[in-house]
Structure 1
């Protein structure tokens, strides 16, 4: 009788846990799955905490309900698989604002991550250079080409659209700048349309038409019990052995698979596995790949990351607008790059005691000196800037929390997906039972990370001889 497979997953974030669930569902019965997490906590950037006696997210707060093609997102599918669909809730307030010239203006509708499909609708925020978006008789983007989002939009619609709309929206997601971020990676639907359409406005409209949203259909969701319930359910349903505080330090190929060196240098543990799935950020992955696949390690290790801090305050009965929050263009000169009014946006978090939970995000790629401030100084600065933007002094917080995420958000420069594809092809050719997954390769957001983990799990199953299904 054949020996059961042994699969090691390095990384206990949602990517690694989604991979473990997929392996449990699709791999042959008896497959031994072990998840190694170097910290004492599963979930990666999914972390539900408590502030002033109530729940709050200290990391990611929501997931997209749909995938780019218009179907159910991978996050929603996993949530259904885990029996948590009944816990999905949606924002009760969806309107957000932009800070423009020191004041709040509603985020205009009809845009694709800030890129307008109707120039008139964004005129109150930014004046597009409409004359530049002429039909030149050829598609905007040649086949297989990639450019930065900022380069394309500046060329077609001018600086104001980038600085006041696109840049703050991308900054809110990636903590990066539109002029540095890959169009193909961060806005794939627009990139596909740009290979056919001759104008940027036409490309936006085509991308929107390709994935229509039913009127009133929610864009975002979260779980009433907090996103940590997703982490807990995935760990439980995977049936995997979970090893916390277990750093994998080295990875060596063997005649039958892999040998992992786990734990401290003075007391290493050596573990044998038939396959390994690396679900860790690019730099830790590169260190593990340095021995078995040095060229892949070099390619993977070149990815850079931005660090951010999330400052959450519990404010007694503040005067807040009926908004989900606001985004701040870098040109406004504020430390804050985005803010969320949690107890306004999410009705299930509203409290009878009148406390409001407000969170602000701090830190932009290439300008992270603000993160060197102490927690007290960060809170004081955020409180002062919020009061300034809202035009009214906010009450002193009764509780606050500062969550620092060092090296949290990948920065995808043009050509990123091509480089990742080449690295994976080389890795697959040399070591088919070693796979890469995670935000560093495929994009940010819970659905993308879930899909990345599941895809890598399928690759492992194929390499080991096929699924039981």
Structure 2
């Protein structure tokens, strides 16, 4: 019932917890909102910028009034516009995107080159690596924040300091392939999220073979289990065998896994930037400083304006537009 309480429009960025707890209550927040928004960011929704991490909620909160009614209108409008599946993916895996880009770019892709410096060269730039120098009219830096900070520090110290202060979360993804007969759960739906109050190591389990039709061969189930938050780093203390044992026991508890699976562990260390309140304003400040002191140099990537493929494509296009305008 508390979700119907009307509130004044939100006037500035804040944490998801600061905005949502008064509107939905602590129990809904801790068992639904935090597992969804905090979990996918390997962090804590009480410290997550609502503008950067949950833009739909931010827009609804800025509108004021009933959060439920505003969100319902957003969902209705989205359904009418989309008319497609809830989830979309690349058949054959995201690797196909990389392979296609490499094929199109050809010899312009240089692998195994560590960039050590970026220097001004007249109206352009020189990208220096450990054993080569590459002249460039424009440069887009899509490296992790701590690397970007070191590269821009000589000419944009304030931006470098902001980037260096960005905290990253560590997570791990374990993929399980198992005969469907070896799981008691029917795997209807797309998976489940785990509130931190449950005390489990896993933060979520996605039923990939249910979620993506091209993964379903009719016989095998594919599960993707995530673990790791900024305030729960237990998985980092486990060796691969211990990690599989621990998560396997939790799958036995949650979905009734009782068969021997084929597994693959994919660690993502320092891979998930934590968007603290004020994050988008800090990104604007970085862009402004670079435009003033380093014309033709643009910063993009997950540390700036969003995770995932849509954000990647959006930022890539914006970066190209920004360098072209310079």
Same fold (TM over 0.5): yes
1:301 aligns with 2:167: no
CA, structure 1 residues 135+172, in 2 after alignment: closer, same or farther (shift >3 Å)? Answer: closer
Answer whether contact 2:43 2:230 (CA < 8 A) is retained.
yes
Partner of 1:271: 134
Distance in 2, matches of 1:261 and 1:177, equals: 38
Partner of 1:134: 5
Which of 412, 416, 421 does residue 279 from structure 2 map onto?
Answer: 416
Q: Secondary structure at the match of 2:182?
A: coil
Partner of 1:228: 95
Which of 126, 133, 140 does residue 259 from structure 1 map onto?
Answer: 126
Distance in 1, matches of 2:155 and 2:101, equals: 30
Answer whether contact 2:119 2:127 (CA < 8 A) is retained.
yes
The aligned runs of 1:453-464 (5 Å cut-off) are 453-463=316-326
Answer whether contact 1:193 1:206 (CA < 8 A) is retained.
no
Distance in 1, matches of 2:302 and 2:189, equals: 29
Distance in 2, matches of 1:326 and 1:451, equals: 28
The aligned runs of 1:315-334 (5 Å cut-off) are 315-316=178-179, 317-319=181-183, 320-321=185-186, 322-334=188-200
**1:14-36 superposed Cα distances (whole Å, 9 cap, x missing partner):** xxxxxxxxxxxxxxxxxxxxxxx
Return the offset for 1:429. 1.0
**1:261-294 superposed Cα distances (whole Å, 9 cap, x missing partner):** 202xxxx322222221101121111111111211
Return the offset for 1:448. 0.6
1:431 aligns with 2:294: yes
Return the offset for 1:206. 4.2
Distance in 2, matches of 1:155 and 1:373, equals: 38
- Runs of 4+ with >6 A deviation: none
Partner of 1:384: 249
The aligned runs of 1:98-137 (5 Å cut-off) are 129-130=2-3, 133-135=4-6
Distance in 2, matches of 1:209 and 1:297, equals: 42
Return the offset for 1:216. 5.5
1:181 aligns with 2:48: yes
Name the Cα RMSD after superposition: 1.9
Partner of 2:26: 159
CA, structure 1 residues 347+153, in 2 after alignment: closer, same or farther (shift >3 Å)? Answer: same
The aligned runs of 1:19-58 (5 Å cut-off) are none
Answer whether contact 2:89 2:212 (CA < 8 A) is retained.
no
Bigger RCO (CA 8 Å, 6+ sep): 1
Answer whether contact 2:201 2:234 (CA < 8 A) is retained.
no
Q: Secondary structure at the match of 1:225?
A: coil
Answer whether contact 1:262 1:270 (CA < 8 A) is retained.
yes
CA, structure 1 residues 451+239, in 2 after alignment: closer, same or farther (shift >3 Å)? Answer: farther
1:336 aligns with 2:202: yes
Return the offset for 1:212. 4.1
Answer whether contact 1:190 1:203 (CA < 8 A) is retained.
no
Answer whether contact 1:170 1:178 (CA < 8 A) is retained.
yes
Distance in 1, matches of 2:199 and 2:99, equals: 40
Return the offset for 1:199. 3.0
Distance in 1, matches of 2:5 and 2:264, equals: 49
Distance in 2, matches of 1:421 and 1:204, equals: 27
Return the offset for 1:343. 2.1
Answer whether contact 2:38 2:48 (CA < 8 A) is retained.
no
Which of 255, 260, 267 does residue 396 from structure 1 map onto?
Answer: 260
Return the offset for 1:240. 6.0
Answer whether contact 1:313 1:357 (CA < 8 A) is retained.
yes
Q: Which has the higher helix share?
A: 2
CA, structure 1 residues 440+198, in 2 after alignment: closer, same or farther (shift >3 Å)? Answer: same
TM-score under structure 1 length normalisation: 0.65
Unmatched segments (≥5 aa) in structure 2? none
**1:134-159 superposed Cα distances (whole Å, 9 cap, x missing partner):** 335x32x02xx111111111112210
Partner of 2:231: 366
Answer whether contact 1:300 1:420 (CA < 8 A) is retained.
no
The aligned runs of 1:211-222 (5 Å cut-off) are 211-213=78-80, 217-222=84-89
Distance in 1, matches of 2:85 and 2:305, equals: 24
